[in-house]
Chains A and B, each alone.
Chain A
Amino acid sequence: MVWVGITLVTFFLLRLTGNPARIVLGQFASDAVIQEFNQKHGLDQPLLIQYISYITNVLRGDLGTSWRFAEPILPIIMERVPATLELAFASLAFSSFVGILLGVLAALKRETPFDYLSRGLVLLAQGIPNFFLALLFIILFGVILGWLPTGGRGDFKHLVLPAIVLGLYLMPLTLRTTRGAVLDILEQNYVRTARGKGVRENSVVWRHVFRNAAIPIVTIFGVQIATLFSGAIITETIFSWPGVGRLIVAAVTGRDFPVIQGIVLIISTVVVIINLIVDILYRVIDPRISMDSVYA
């Protein structure tokens, strides 16, 4: 159902101004040229017909043709997906690892300098605009120190800065959620019982506490995916990373509306799918949760 809504929005996105032809062809284009454009792209048919043909095409895998490249859109997008996936995995790995580790430790060592330090880190990561941070990193590591390349995609060295920048964008939420969840659980009776039984502290933390803290963390994971794409758009642009994010910015400057539409549709579909997977994962982690209560 949500997906239907998404297709509706992306469909109407293109027709928001009422006359896309005018935007592409300019103010001085004659009416005849506009007419020809509309006919060529099927924009002169009734909206419902347009929507139906749009949906049927999408379901067949045809996302239309790029106005700029005159090529089918889906292959253009798929070409750039691996790059974005690479960046996504790297930054998620970084943000999850750092966020969860620091979150658990901060909760265990509550109110110690360590706790304040990690909360300070969260504050900075949330407050500093991530494109600004990217610039600073490029200046520091790319220009002044010369350790890492300043852009483009290549070997592992090229991945480091973009992944860290994007990871820092995502990390604060993971860290705060982990810390909060662990704090809540540490007060639970079963933790006290486990400690009373003489279970080793390490085991208490990772087998008892963490397993139960996993639920909110997994929830956040689903939310992060949409944020990930937003952040990726900016990160890819700054680091000239040839992914989907950079494609959409290029499409906007090039006024290639079908491509914009296609990318937005694909990204939001992916987000919906991942959130569905997260919902199912809930059940796996905690069999006590029935599917009904998830959707309560």
Chain B
Amino acid sequence: MFRAYWRNPGSRIGSVIAVVMLLLVVFPSSWLPYDPTIVDLSVANEPGFWTGNFEYFLGTDFLGRDMLSRSIYGARLTLIIGLSATAFASILGIISGMSSGFFGKWVDGIISWLIDIQLAFPVIALAIAIIAMVGGSLGSLIFVLAVMSWAGMARLARGQTIAIRNEIYIDAAMACGIPQRRIISHHIFPNILSPLLAMMTYEMARLILAESALSFLGLGISAPKVTWGGMIGDGRGYIYEALWTAVIPGILIALLVMSLNFVGDGIRDAIDPSSWGKEK
């Protein structure tokens, strides 16, 4: 299956780009060409390498901060938020989805009710409302994003669990007296993992877009912490004199999101038996 995944050129490119970007999270601050937070108004809004300026490779923003350093620095927070929110949403969603699908009856009733409620809310409206209440700290932002997307994972996990629940080997396992907990973790979970992995990559892409939208609106992390969305928001006021300050982070976000989508597509195609053997 991994071979099928790797044969797909899209997933190869996507994975490479995604991994490179993920590595930016652990990029040591000491390697950055400039300090991303130091303000120097004398070099504000300088263009970068496209006008021959190699001192500030990607130019500077309205406060004279180096765009290259800020981009790498911003990657860290953007990705941490994306990864943790996806992780929380996945854990919450998978556990509730599997419980809902496996146990059925009132457990399913309650959890499905909660899922339906969450899916009825326009995601950004809810996020905005919650952040208005509890403030825009890192923790609350991750919490809000996780709450926004657990339902999708839960629904998928539930559907997959229900599909497998009636298989013979589950009955056999139960007949052998294997405790339910173990059935879920050892028999059900590994078999539903693949579609869930695909969904996780899509969700991460979606959450990164959501975080950038929130930061753009000024409702995400506040200064001096920097994310790519926030950088676009900053650059919005200077699109005439310093277009690159808004465009560069936008391109970076688009690149990351597209590569994650490629990875998700690759996983999805790799586990779909109808697409095997297409190369021949």
Contacts and interface: CB of A to CB of B under 8 A. Distances in A.
| Band of interface residues on B | 35 or more
B133 A17 contact: yes
B128 A249 contact: yes
B116 A226 contact: no
Contacts of B128: 233, 248-249, 252, 260
B261 A127 contact: yes
Nearest to B235: A135
Contacts of A234: 124, 213, 216-217
Contacts of A14: 133
Contacts of A136: 247, 250
Interface string B208-223: 0100110011110000
B194 to A, nearest CB: 19
Given A2-B120, A257-B132, A132 B250 contact: yes
A67 to B, nearest CB: 12
Given A233-B128, A252-B128, A16 B117 contact: no
Contacts of B247: 136
Interface in B188-215: 205, 209, 212-213
Interface in B130-169: 130-134
Contacts of B205: 126-127
B119 interface: yes
B123 interface: yes
Interface string B226-246: 000100100010011001001
A99 B268 CA distance: 22
Nearest to B240: A143
B122 A129 contact: no
Interface in A130-151: 130-132, 135-136, 138-139, 143
A29 interface: no
Given A16-B134, A260-B132, A6 B120 contact: yes
Contacts of B246: 132, 135
B124 A132 contact: no
Q: Interface SS of chain A: helix, strand, loop or mixed?
A: helix
Given A13-B133, A252-B128, A126 B122 contact: no
| Band of interface residues on A | 35 or more
Interface string B257-273: 11001000000000000
A267 B122 contact: yes
A23 B213 contact: no
A293 B87 CA distance: 34
Given A123-B261, A252-B129, A233 B229 contact: no
Given A2-B116, A139-B239, A129 B121 contact: no
A252 B144 CA distance: 15
A23 B122 contact: no
B216 A131 contact: yes
B257 A127 contact: yes
27 contacts: A6-B117, A6-B121, A20-B133, A126-B258, A127-B254, A127-B261, A128-B253, A128-B254, A129-B254, A131-B212, A131-B213, A132-B253, A132-B254, A135-B239, A138-B239, A143-B239, A226-B120, A226-B121, A230-B123, A233-B124, A233-B125, A252-B129, A252-B132, A257-B132, A264-B125, A272-B120, A275-B120
Interface of A: 1-2, 5-6, 9, 13-14, 16-17, 20, 23, 123-124, 126-132, 135-136, 138-139, 143, 226-231, 233-234, 237, 248-249, 251-253, 255, 257, 260-261, 263-264, 267-268, 271-272, 275
- Nearest 9 pairs between A and B by C-beta? A127-B258, A229-B122, A132-B250, A230-B124, A5-B117, A252-B132, A127-B257, A16-B133, A230-B122
Given A230-B122, A249-B217, A260-B132, 14 more contacts: A2-B117, A9-B117, A16-B134, A123-B261, A127-B255, A128-B253, A129-B213, A130-B213, A131-B216, A233-B128, A255-B132, A263-B125, A264-B125, A271-B121
